[in-house]
């Protein structure tokens, strides 16, 4: 087990619209989920840590009002890119850490490619 799904896999939207990306742990509970962003030829960069039932913790330089994160259940976290602009175009990927596990292994979704026109 330890499967994480992410939807949609690809989205194209107009500038000014909001886009929601879902991250689900399919066969385990995840108290903590993480959202990453990858720029071309760069490493995965942590945007925020999402904790079930509490506010997300954002990394330095990440606008919390631009990237809204909700972790309403132990199997679902959502990232909403609000009023998207072309510079928000990127690859976004989530991961989940098993609740109660002794390891800090993160299990990843397949990612979402966002293109803002």
Partner 1 sequence: ILNVEQSPQSLHVQEGDSTNFTCSFPSSNFYALHWYRWETAKSPEALFVMTLNGDEKKKGRISATLNTKEGYSYLYIKGSQPEDSATYLCAFSTSGTYKYIFGTGTRLKVLA
Structure tokens at 78: 């959502």
Parallel, antiparallel or unpaired: strands 90-97 and 76-81: unpaired
Q: How far is the CB of 113 from partner 1 (least distance, A)?
A: 10
* Binds partner 1 (CB under 8 A): choice among 28, 34, 35, 58: 34
Q: Which residue has the tokens 């689900």?
A: 24
> What is the footprint of partner 1 within residues 14-33 (CB under 8 A)?
32
Q: How far is the CB of 103 from partner 1 (least distance, A)?
A: 6
Site for partner 1 in 72-101 (CB under 8 A): 93, 97
β-pair type (67-73, 32-38): unpaired
Q: Which stretch binds partner 1 (CB under 8 A): 11-19, 43-51, 67-75, 79-87?
A: 43-51
Per the CB < 8 A criterion, the answer to whether 89 and 116 are in contact is yes
């Amino acid at each position: 087990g330890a499967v994480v799904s992410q939807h949609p896999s690809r989205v194209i939207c107009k500038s000014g619209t909001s886009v929601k990306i879902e991250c689900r742990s399919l066969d385990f509970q995840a108290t903590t989920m993480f959202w990453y962003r990858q720029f071309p030829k760069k490493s995965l960069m942590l945007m925020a840590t999402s904790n079930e039932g509490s506010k997300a913790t954002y990394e330095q330089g990440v606008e919390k009002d631009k990237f809204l994160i909700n972790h309403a259940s132990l199997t679902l976290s959502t990232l909403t890119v609000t009023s998207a602009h072309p510079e928000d175009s990127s690859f976004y990927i989530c991961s989940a850490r098993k609740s109660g596990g002794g390891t800090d292994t993160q299990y990843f979704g397949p990612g979402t490619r966002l293109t803002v026109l």
